[in-house]
Amino acid sequence: MKNLIERLHIKYSLTDIVNQRDNFVYLTIRKENAIDLVTYLKDYEGFSHFVLLSCVDWIEDGKFQLSYFLNQPNKKFDIAIRTMIDRENAEMQSSHHLWKHIETYQRELREMYGINFPKNPRIEENFILEGWDEIPPMRREFDTKRYSEKTFFPREGRKTYDPATYMKDKLYPNAPITAKVNKKDE
């Protein structure tokens, strides 16, 4: 596989290579070349199985990271092609023509992150959030707590717990209570 990675690095000017395991590598490439590389791997290098299309929101950098996970079943090797796109104009070339199920991943990413995939014939169809009019809920600026408080009514008799204390009490109900000691008190 080392020879393949070296050839891909020369052919596509990869910006980063991370060997996750002996049989799994991450390759980072510029947005303009990502779908060409995915196509090449499918058509010429035996990566016949498309596993997953995922997204990471790097809000501090104003970017989304898209990762296309491919598998080569005969050699039991996985490659993830990573590319960065702008959050403000979140758009990526569609790759639905390569594997039919990519269409579904792209619809999900449009709905959850607001990423557009032009030429995907079903990109405008609702995926899960029928009638949703808020910002996409997987974007990091989405305030889940505020949304819940605005959308759902409080129920009578419901108590609020500190999650850490509550879980400690539930998991270790018979644990002795220990006091914290400051170093200067010792």
Distance CA 166, CA 154 (A): 20
Q: For residue 24, what are the β-bridge partners?
A: 21, 78
Distance CA 10, CA 59 (A): 31
Q: Which one is predicted more confidently, 180 or 170?
A: 170
pTM recorded for the entire structure:
0.80
Asked: is 2-172 a CATH 3.30.460.80 domain? The reply is yes
Domain chopping of the chain, boundaries: 2-172
Give the model confidence (pLDDT) of 49-93 as tens digits: 999 999 999 999 999 999 999 999 999 999 999 999 999 999 999
Helices and strands counted in the chain (H then E): 5, 5
Give the model confidence (pLDDT) of 97-110 as tens digits: 999 999 999 999 99
Q: Which one is predicted more confidently, 157 or 10?
A: 10
Distance CA 67, CA 79 (A): 10
Q: For residue 55, what are the β-bridge partners?
A: 66
Given a cut of 60, is residue 126 above it in pLDDT? yes
Mean per-residue pLDDT, 159-171: 80
Q: Which one is predicted more confidently, 125 or 59?
A: 59
Structure tokens of 70? Answer: 């491919």
List C-alpha distances in Å: 80 to 18, 38, 52, 71, 91.
10, 9, 9, 9, 19
